[in-house]
Structure 1
């Protein structure tokens, strides 16, 4: 007679370490999710507190991370939380110490990092409010930190490595009566700036807002980076408004390392139009125009 041996019993789902980590990986990306899960048992705490699992958790939820809050653009003086308890962070949790002579201006935030320009010292600060990590970077030669030549900037992390980041800077410069846009990129991995690239900008033209009033003389509207609106990241390119009479758009292609000026698809001289650059549903570049009587949504079309 043959003897039958019982087949090994499969471990319950919550006893299987690999399966449990996959389950925890799919918890909501709210700040309280992993701390709450770590209270269930020692096994759950070990997985939730593992640095490798934390990196996987952030990468898994990177396409749609929660918005913890936002900073005041003018000096990062205050943090305004947007979530409700228990995910709400107190405003004092994200505080930035400044010296008496510091003059901070926020250039934008992305991927959990904040990019700040300190004009008196000609330095950039890449700040992680969650970990309190700070990286000071000298502004490269060729960029003037003054109100006459505003600097636009953006920071982003690499898709694979969370430890390194990229900083992009753009500005305008006058040479031989011609205005040019300039750009450079900093890689934290090599601690170096790329060579400055440039492209000519449309010549300054008379402001049509001013021409609407017959009793006011016309004036030239200089072209500069519109720093009051953060850059928009679409694919491998960053986009800024160009503050001139027609509101062109400056594209910094990080992959090809080139600058391009894109004209607006509609006439923006009407002072009643509100204009925004955004990502379209298909991942391309989109434009939103809102006026008194209509709303227009445009998107770029790639012609092969």
Structure 2
């Protein structure tokens, strides 16, 4: 009979082989018996598991909307049981996600001129947040803004840095300049503002923001067909600019290449064109096309494809297509078609293991989510949701009268999605069941009308 030590080592080896992009495997295994649960919820196993796999999996995407709380779309059904409940009851927009952290802004983007009133850094796995804090002084005068969040812990491998100190880089543009500042959770303050003059500059929202070393990169435009790249070093606080690749800026997405330098990706039909940068002796940045990959065997040839981002740690490109968003892993050849229809999405990568779920109940280094003005916020958001639902119901009823059954079906789907997202985000399960029952009654009425 094998020794207990051998059995333990064999069990650890087996459980370590469970795939990180299916967190449900580990959680289901923790229910087998008390011994397995004790093993899987131990910090030692969690650290070992993350060190073996090294690359945090892509758990899904946050999809921003104009009127309600963003949705979280899992990259696959296997991504359960990860349930990202939003840290605030107001409508928020996801600006960035990195190192298991999420940066949100309030209010959500309604018009191009909207800017952040407050920012929130949120740790979905650790279920902690850094309470709302105002942007730097220039935040009230800019026309467009973007932000990034990074872990600031020394010598961190970013495999499980939940609760670590962080930095937030906030960049905004007006008619004359780009401005930037960095917020530190350790000092609870913003750095002095740095600026980069350029007439009629506008930083593009919704674009990926690759982090290379300490620098983050953004695309800016100053004429309909003219653009440049803005570089902001989060540690030296330097803001600089240089020319982008010889491609229209709406047709490419910035990325971190396998070599660890700035690059970009674009689609030409079914061809994925990859570009990379090289610094010249005078410090100037030169662009060169490094690789062209034909995706016609992986994706439908009749789809209109457009690269909207690249998750460098997971090694996954995400593209818009006729049917929504597709993720493409070139190494495995795996394509995952998702139900997301909006290109304004932010990928979320992180390990999610049973030991991290246990840590949720323990006191963290950040402030826990509070109940400040919760009832007033709930009421305000619920009114917005019900207004949107009523407008869709009226539109759907009119579509039925006009025998536009496709339009009526679309309204029904959107009503269910809005109500489901709101009530799940607030954990109002009784209200959710009541709301779904009411929606079913409305659907029955529509069916009777159509007959």
Tell me, yes or no, whether TM beats 0.5. Answer: yes
Q: 1:71 and 1:195, CA in 2 relative to 1: closer, same or farther beyond 3 A? A: same
Pick aligned residue for 1:94 from 68, 77, 84:
84
Q: 1:88 and 1:192, CA in 2 relative to 1: closer, same or farther beyond 3 A? A: same
* TM superposition shift of 1:117: 1.0
Task: Say whether residues 1:181 and 2:178 are aligned partners.
Answer: yes
Matched with 1:162 is: 162
* TM superposition shift of 1:64: 3.6
Partner Cα separation in structure 2 for residue 121 and residue 10 of structure 1: 60
Bigger RCO of structures 1 and 2 (CA < 8 A, at least 6 apart): 2
Task: Say whether residues 1:15 and 2:5 are aligned partners.
Answer: no
- Contact (CA 8 Å) 1:156, 1:166: kept in 2 or not? yes
Q: 1:46 and 1:136, CA in 2 relative to 1: closer, same or farther beyond 3 A? A: same
Q: Which region of structure 1 is more displaced relative to structure 2, 161-170 or 73-82?
A: 73-82
Matched with 1:4 is: none
Pick aligned residue for 1:126 from 121, 125, 128:
121
Pick aligned residue for 1:247 from 227, 234, 243:
227
Partner Cα separation in structure 1 for residue 116 and residue 228 of structure 2: 31
Pick aligned residue for 2:77 from 81, 84, 106:
84
Matched with 2:259 is: 282
Q: 1:131 and 1:111, CA in 2 relative to 1: closer, same or farther beyond 3 A? A: same
* TM superposition shift of 1:171: 1.0
* TM superposition shift of 1:227: 1.3
Partner Cα separation in structure 1 for residue 51 and residue 143 of structure 2: 37
Partner Cα separation in structure 1 for residue 205 and residue 116 of structure 2: 19
Q: 1:265 and 1:71, CA in 2 relative to 1: closer, same or farther beyond 3 A? A: closer
Matched with 1:208 is: none
Output the TM-score relative to the length of structure 1. 0.72
Task: Say whether residues 1:152 and 2:146 are aligned partners.
Answer: yes
- Aligned pair count reads 262
- Contact (CA 8 Å) 2:173, 2:203: kept in 1 or not? yes
More helix as a share of residues: 2
* TM superposition shift of 1:96: 3.0
Task: Say whether residues 1:104 and 2:92 are aligned partners.
Answer: yes
Structure 1, gaps ≥5 residues long? 1-8, 204-221
CA RMSD of aligned residues (A): 3.2
Partner Cα separation in structure 1 for residue 240 and residue 276 of structure 2: 17
Structure 2, gaps ≥5 residues long? 108-114, 282-451
The 3-state SS of whatever aligns with 1:231 is coil
Which structure has the bigger radius of gyration? 1
